Every structure is written in structure tokens, then in C-alpha cells.
Amino acid sequence: MAKKKLNKNWLHDHINDPYVKMAQKDGYRARAAYKLKEIDEVDKLIKPGQIIVDLGSTPGSWSQYVRNKLAGLEGGGIHGTIIGLDILPMDPIADVHFILGDFREQESLTQLERLLAGRKVDLVLSDMAPNLSGIAIADAARMEEIIDLAIEFSLNHMKPSGVLLAKCFNGRGYNEILGKFRSTFETVGSRKPKASRDKSSEIFLLGRSLKNFA
């Protein structure tokens, strides 16, 4: 009974959420687009000509926002390259290259390398999150593993001057994740956009310029 009530409350909040209404109006697939929009408007992350990778891109609202920012070529098209990766299918988005698969596996990496054609990435975006179990220690370990993957991807594919924006949770394990960012990037900051739900502990870490780049 409690679960049914919880689902009803969530549905009520979701339907009345102003960001859900804005997403429907603006054509975004999820309200998450406005989290990236808020951060980008302050930190100026997305610029014409960049190569941008969206890790865990499905359903695609972050890729949609990036595509809108890079649009502007006469006759359509974008100034830059957008690559989305996810283990879940994603409906096509104009000018976004999508790779279905696990980026740790060779098949996905081969597709990625073909699209990059020897180029390095300017901006890595990660809105990935684990399926939460409600067991704090297990959830913290899963979140840390996802952050490790985003950092490892950045080390392998990003320009020395590149930027990683990654979602995590401000709770158990957060200090360890923050420490990993600080040991990887020259400058590190945290962002909590207004579009993040008040009840949510999600926070976004922003790392700029790789340290100790050989």
C-alpha cells in the first residue's frame, strides 16, 4: 500500500513539475535537459566546433540540448561533432552519432574511434547513474564505479584541456569521488542546478584540464 501511495505522489509531482511542462513545450525528451542548460549557461561548456561525447545518453535530452547549441550551419547541420553512447537504445536525433553498447567493449570502442578519426574530445558529459537499491553502502559503490568509468573514458579520449561534467550523489562516498576528480583535473567544482529536484541528492562535478598529462 505504501509503495502505491509513493508512486501516486511521484506521478502527481511529475505531472505538476514545471520542468516537465517546459520539456514537453520545448520538445526535449526529459526534464534533465534543463540541468545541463543551467550549468552550460554559467560555465560556457558548449562551443561551436567542439567534439562532445554524451555517456549514458538515452533517452537523449542532453544530446538534444547540445545539438541545439551547435546548430546553425546554412541548410542544416551543426558546427561540431556529437557522439552519444548507451547500453540502452535511443531514438535518433539529427546530427547525433549514437553508439549502442558498452564503451568498455571493443566493438563500441572501434565505432567510437572510427567517428573520432584520430581526434580528441573537448567535452565529456555523463548523466549516468546506477539503479539504486536503497542500501547506502552498495549504492555508493555503484556510483563510484560509474564515476571511475567516466574518468577513465576522459583520460583515454579527451584533450589535455578538456572538460568532464558528471553526475554523482552528495552522500556516502561523495568525498572519495571528489578526491578522484581532484587527482585527475587541474580545477574541480560542483554544481547543483535549480532543475535538480529538491529531494534529490544529485550533484554535478565539473573537472577542467587533465593533470599530469604526458
Q: How far is CA 134 from CA 105, 130, 131, 138, 141, in A?
A: 29, 11, 9, 8, 12
Catalytic residue, chosen from 35, 69, 167, 180, is 167
Residue 86 assigned to a binding site: yes
Judge whether 127 is annotated as a binding position. Answer: yes
Contact of 211 with 155, CB cutoff 8 Å: no
Catalytic residue flag (residue 69): no
| Residue 54 annotated as binding site | no
95 annotated among ligand-binding-site residues: no
User: Is 60 one of the annotated binding-site residues?
Assistant: yes
Place of cell 554544481: 191
Kindly tell me the sign of the dihedral angle through the C-alpha atoms of 19, 25, 30, 33: negative
Task: Classify residue 76 by its DSSP letter.
Answer: S
Cell 587541474, located at residue:
186
Residue in 13, 33, 36 with CA at minimum distance from that of residue 23: 33
Binding site residue list:
60, 62, 86, 102, 127
Catalytic residues: 167
Binding site residue list for S-adenosyl-L-methionine:
60, 62, 86, 102, 127
